[in-house]
């Protein structure tokens, strides 16, 4: 006889099972994981499992001098580090009332666009790999390396350039840099057709990516989606144009949108942005030589630098979306609080969890790469 309070253990139906997707999985970006519940290969639910890459950046920043953090922030997002430096510097400049010389502003925009190019090459290469096409990935990585060469020349570092500091940039560009940048742009321009032929017009990609991970514009806005992912739902919003910072107002570029809201649209937006970034860089190459002057305004001794008490929220358009720093100073030589609004936090957690439901197991990687989510930035 069973006791009165007996309750049978509820077993999941035998056709459902849980699978750990990552953190060691070729289809996942970085150290990140999903716990997915599957029926066959259909995803019933997905739960983001972050934290493998948590380094506590926001807390670490509170213990370091304002200037020391410039070496820390680029590590928050490895593929696109420059916006981190620029956004952090903008925040301090706003708190201190520093006026960044115009030349430094142009140099910053130049790096931001170089970094965007590099990040987008990385992103579409990664997406291609998730659909089994490895050549675009190799191409993307190889061509990104050519951009890193220019970063090395300009900033002294290939990946973490640590070139922007509050007040401007650390040093002027080397002689002949713009010529070499221009020939790189010529090369990348010529490569766009190759990318199209191999990937963006490839039916394997188009058929796999179309209608995968689709979200509507309303959903996107509700979920906090920004950047190319938002523009792929048809909404033309870009911080560079709608809340311009640095010298973006003086630069001519289009905010490209796609109506689909699916993985295909997101990639196409990125593809179009490659072209826009090249266009912006060409304008910079033309304009920068006429902007003379220093590349940094005077700043106090970094070891004895009290930033006036206050708080500020600065945002920039990174390759992933809207990146923002909320910085609070209590008037001390270290930040009181720094919060990073990383676009990937939304894309890789709440958005991906929702978009994965109903899709097939093999598409999870594709959706994630199409969102260009960056796990180091989620974890921070």
Binding site for another protein (CB under 8 A): 64-65, 67-72, 142, 149, 152-157, 160, 162, 170-172, 174, 196-197, 200-201, 203, 206, 256-259, 264, 268-269, 271-272, 275, 294-296, 298-305
The whole-angstrom separation of Cα 296 and Cα 98 is 10
Nearer to another protein, 24 or 203 (CB): 203
Minimum gap (Å) between residue 78 Cβ and another protein: 13
Peptide bond into 23 cis (omega under 30): yes
CA distances from 234 to 225, 260, 265 (A): 12, 7, 9
Nearer to another protein, 23 or 332 (CB): 332
Number of other CB atoms surrounding residue 23 within 10 Å: 17
Q: Are 222 and 369 in contact (CB under 8 A)?
A: no
Minimum gap (Å) between residue 203 Cβ and another protein: 7
Q: What is the DSSP letter of 198?
A: I
Nearer to another protein, 130 or 257 (CB): 257
Minimum gap (Å) between residue 45 Cβ and another protein: 32
Cα 138 from chain centroid? 20
Number of other CB atoms surrounding residue 357 within 10 Å: 14
The whole-angstrom separation of Cα 229 and Cα 322 is 11
The whole-angstrom separation of Cα 192 and Cα 208 is 21
What's the order of all strands across the beta sheet hosting 322-329? 310-317, 322-329, 337-341
Tokens at residue 60, please? 């670490």
Nearer to another protein, 327 or 348 (CB): 327
Minimum gap (Å) between residue 287 Cβ and another protein: 20
Minimum gap (Å) between residue 125 Cβ and another protein: 15
Pairing of strands 310-317, 168-169: unpaired
Minimum gap (Å) between residue 294 Cβ and another protein: 8
Minimum gap (Å) between residue 148 Cβ and another protein: 11
Nearer to another protein, 86 or 256 (CB): 256
Minimum gap (Å) between residue 371 Cβ and another protein: 17
Nearer to another protein, 129 or 264 (CB): 264
The whole-angstrom separation of Cα 72 and Cα 183 is 32
Nearer to another protein, 40 or 308 (CB): 308
The whole-angstrom separation of Cα 50 and Cα 349 is 8
Question: What contacts 247, CB < 8 A, 6 or more positions away?
Answer: 102, 105, 106, 109
Tokens at residue 34, please? 């999903």
Nearer to another protein, 61 or 352 (CB): 61
Round to the nearest angstrom and report the end-to-end CA distance of the chain: 55
């Amino acid at each position: 006889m069973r006791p009165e309070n007996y309750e049978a253990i509820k077993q999941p139906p035998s056709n459902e099972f849980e699978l750990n997707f990552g953190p060691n999985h070729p289809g996942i970006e970085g150290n990140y994981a999903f716990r997915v519940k599957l029926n066959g290969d259909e995803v019933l639910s997905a739960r983001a499992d972050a934290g493998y890459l948590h380094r506590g950046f926001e807390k670490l920043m509170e213990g370091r001098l304002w200037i020391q953090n410039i070496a820390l922030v680029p590590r928050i997002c490895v593929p696109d580090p420059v916006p981190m430096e620029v956004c952090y510097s903008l925040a301090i400049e706003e708190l201190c009332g520093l006026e960044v010389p115009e030349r430094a502003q142009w140099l910053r925009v130049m790096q931001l666009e170089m970094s965007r190019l590099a990040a987008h090459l990385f992103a579409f290469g990664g997406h291609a790999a998730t659909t089994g096409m490895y050549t675009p990935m190799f191409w993307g990585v190889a061509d990104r390396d050519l951009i890193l060469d220019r970063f090395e020349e300009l900033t002294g570092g290939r990946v973490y350039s640590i070139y922007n500091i509050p007040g401007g940039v650390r040093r002027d560009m080397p002689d002949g840099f713009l010529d070499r940048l221009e020939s790189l742009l010529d090369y990348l321009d010529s490569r766009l057709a190759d990318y199209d032929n191999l990937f963006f017009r490839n039916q394997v990609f188009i058929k796999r990516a179309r209608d995968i991970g689709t979200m509507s514009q309303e959903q996107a806005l509700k979920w906090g989606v920004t950047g190319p992912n938002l523009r792929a739902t048809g909404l033309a919003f870009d911080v560079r144009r709608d809340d311009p910072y640095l010298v973006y107002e003086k630069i001519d570029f289009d905010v490209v949108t796609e109506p689909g809201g699916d993985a295909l649209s997101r990639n196409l937006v990125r593809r179009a942005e490659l072209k826009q970034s090249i266009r912006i860089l060409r304008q910079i190459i033309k304009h920068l030589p006429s902007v003379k002057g220093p590349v940094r305004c005077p700043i106090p001794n970094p070891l004895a630098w009290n930033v006036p008490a206050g708080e500020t929220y600065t945002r920039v358009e990174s390759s992933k979306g809207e990146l923002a720093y909320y910085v609070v100073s209590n008037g001390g030589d270290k930040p009181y609080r720094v919060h990073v609004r990383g676009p990937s936090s939304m894309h890789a957690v709440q958005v991906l969890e929702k978009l994965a439901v109903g899709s097939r197991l093999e598409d999870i990687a594709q959706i994630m790469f199409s969102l260009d989510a960056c796990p180091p930035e989620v974890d921070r």
